Amino acid sequence: MTTANAANISPANRTRGSSKQANSYAMALLALATVLVGLGTIIVSVALWRRLLSPLSSVPGPALASVTRFWHVRHVLKGDQNRALIRAHEKYEVSVSHPDGPKKILLATLHKADWYKVATFPDGRYMNPFAATDPKVKNELSKHVAPAYTLSNVLQSEEAIDNTIALLLGLLDKFAKSGEPVRLDEFVSFTTSDVVGEVVFSKPFGFLKKGADIAGAFAASEAQSAYVSAVGFFRWIHVLLLANPVMTGLGIVPWGHIIDTAMGAIKERQANPDGRFDASSHWFRMLKQNPGRMHRHEIDSAAFNAVAAGSDTVSSGIQAFLYYMMRHPNAWRRARQEMQDAGLGGRQGPISFADTQGLPYLQACLKEALRIFGPGAMGLARRAPPGGLEIGGQTFPEGTTLSVHPWVIHHSKEIWGDDAREFNPERWLSTDAARLDKNYVPFGLGYASCPGQNLARMELAKIGATIVLNYDLRQVDPKQDMRYKAFFSLIAHMPPCYVERVRKNL
Ligand code: HEM
């Protein structure tokens, strides 16, 4: 019996037992200390090698950034990586802010950096053009998907886009009447999300009709952007947590209202492919014409990528345009006058894309807004090819990750002059415009550049022109700056404004 056995244990036995126990604790502690010292030695050696001996040790930069990714990831999570990188480049003049960067890194068809692999959807098994790092694989996958956004295809949705913009104007009119301040950041984001819904699967997400966020979709998508942008540097964590077949099989990944609606709409579209010609019509047509070469999951990925890449980006661009125009009333007046001179003054509703093409000053203002406040907030990262890559006198060995950051390039005084940080649309109308264009990279450049840029330019021009012609905006607090989070794309929050409808004597 247990009690009898316990009574039989002598004090000597007890002492021997506890000294045995003490010995095994000591051994365990020694083993733990050995592992910790070993790990510490490895970490310190790697850090010292990176800092002092690696072929990149001569590249100046923040000490922490030279030994670990945590410097960058900390700024990604804070949402200020664009400014932190500009500060670092100013202080250390890292060579990829060199004017040759866009040509030698983006136009040279290099492999993309491993960060992009985080974009497989729904899990690591399913490749798509954004996640593919090998240019050949990327181009093969894009072949079926990207033509959905050619200008002629996007123009087929112009009427639906106009109906969406009309809902936005209805909301603005309501606020103009009541005199209440309007949260344009929200309304513009509702609009660009609903436009993606229309253009991709002829089904808006319903934000504008409701005039409100649905099921906290925008708050959730901000958290998702922060997560994806940071975890891309440690993809194994993402695979372990979410992007694995078990999670996909169980269907418990919390994508939220927008992705759930998108996936539902794609299924509806597959069952009834004869709707308006939209992006998913194009994809299902490609799937039918390329059996064995295109797969059904590529359509889900394409829809996911459109939703992830096509809403916050355009919203930030439109907000940047309105914000800088509001702060430069002369530019606002001149753009409006240009439209009146072009015979568009009487238009109350959405301006057509064709009409916006005849407005050079408005186009210069839009271009300048994307330069000074680019919606792409992460470096476009590539890997140095075999034989290495020479930029600005520095040679980077094969495999080095090199990135061109739109904000760093667009804010470089070396490229744009002393007024690099000022909103100056005139620069695009000067004789210098062709030189400047070579360093203008809001949509990236080369084989991996943004496939949705026709749609983005169309939305920017139509919404920007329509608001400038028909409304006056005034900040509630003129001192309040633009707020934003710089994840992979930038999520902007322009300050609240009063809105007034321009009176027209028609
Ligand atoms: C002003 C708005 C936009 C900006 C500034 C922008 C910018 C960019 C940039 C910089 C990239 C990455 C390029 C690289 O990695 O080198 C990208 C990728 C991408 N963008 Fe955009 N974008 C915008 C709007 C849109 C829209 C409206 C769509 C479509 C609905 C879209 C769809 C995509 C997709 C699918 C990718 C992934 C690349 C691929 O699949 O080939 N974007 N965009």
68 HSE (CA, 13 A, CB side)? 11
- Nearest Cα neighbor of 105 from 466, 463, 425, 401 is 401
Distance of CA 354 to the CA centre of its chain: 28
- Encode burial over 439-455: b for 16+ CB neighbours within 10 A, e otherwise: bbbbbbbbbbebbbebb
* Cα 341 to ligand 1 centre (Å): 34
**Which architecture does CATH list for 85-501?**
Orthogonal Bundle (1.10)
Distance of CA 317 to the CA centre of its chain: 12
Judged against a pLDDT cut of 50, whether residue 93 lies above it is answered with no
Length in residues, the chain = 506
Span 356-365, average pLDDT: 98
- Are 229 and 378 spatial neighbours (Cβ–Cβ below 8 Å)? yes
Which of 145, 450, 458, 459 to mutate for ligand 1's pocket (most ligand atoms within 8 Å of CB)?
450
For 234-252, the pLDDT digits (tens) are 999 999 988 899 888 887 7
Place of tokens 């009333």: 329
For residue 53, the model assigns a pLDDT of 66
Place of tokens 């329509």: 466
From CA 235, how far away is CA 350, in angstroms rounded? 43
Q: Rounded mean pLDDT of the chain?
A: 89
Judged against a pLDDT cut of 90, whether residue 165 lies above it is answered with yes
* Residue owning the nearest CA to atom 43 of ligand 1: 450
From CA 217, how far away is CA 357, in angstroms rounded? 34
Element (H, E) at 472: strand 471-475
Q: What is the CA radius of gyration of the chain?
A: 27
* Cα 370 to ligand 1 centre (Å): 13
Place of tokens 């568009």: 344
Q: Which residues pair with 390 in a beta bridge?
A: 395
* Cα 73 to ligand 1 centre (Å): 22
Ligand 1, residues at Cβ distance < 6 Å: 129-130, 142, 196, 305-306, 309-310, 313-314, 317, 375-376, 380, 442-444, 448-452, 455-456
From CA 413, how far away is CA 410, in angstroms rounded? 9
Span 210-219, average pLDDT: 90
Which residues fall within 8 angstroms of residue 366, CB to CB, at 6 or more apart? Answer: 317, 321, 457, 460, 461, 464
Output DSSP code: residue 403: E
- Are 147 and 485 spatial neighbours (Cβ–Cβ below 8 Å)? no
Of the pLDDT bands very low, low, confident and very high (cuts 50, 70, 90), residue 151 is very high
For 464-496, the pLDDT digits (tens) are 999 999 999 999 999 999 999 999 999 999 999
Judged against a pLDDT cut of 90, whether residue 409 lies above it is answered with yes
Place of tokens 């890292």: 94
411 HSE (CA, 13 A, CB side)? 19
* Cα 453 to ligand 1 centre (Å): 7
* Residue owning the nearest CA to atom 20 of ligand 1: 450
Cα separations in angstroms, 173 against 318, 402, 476: 18, 47, 17
Instruction: Give the burial class of 346: count Cβ atoms within 10 A of its Cβ; 0-12 exposed, 13-18 middle, 19 or more buried.
Output: exposed
Q: What is the full DSSP assignment across 278-344?
A: -HHHHHHHHHHHSBTTB-HHHHHHHHHHHHHHHSHHHHHHHHHHHHHHHT-HHHHHHHHHHHHHTT-
Judged against a pLDDT cut of 50, whether residue 1 lies above it is answered with no
* Cα 456 to ligand 1 centre (Å): 9
* Residue owning the nearest CA to atom 38 of ligand 1: 130
Q: For CA atoms 305, 404, 407, 230, give the dihedral sign.
A: positive
Span 76-86, average pLDDT: 81
* Residue owning the nearest CA to atom 13 of ligand 1: 449
SS3 at position 414? helix
* Residue owning the nearest CA to atom 40 of ligand 1: 130
Span 29-46, average pLDDT: 79
Domain range summary for the chain, segments of one domain joined by +: 85-501
* Cα 26 to ligand 1 centre (Å): 58
SS3 at position 389? strand
From CA 127, how far away is CA 11, in angstroms rounded? 68
Q: Which two three-digit tokens encode residue 180? A: 């209440």
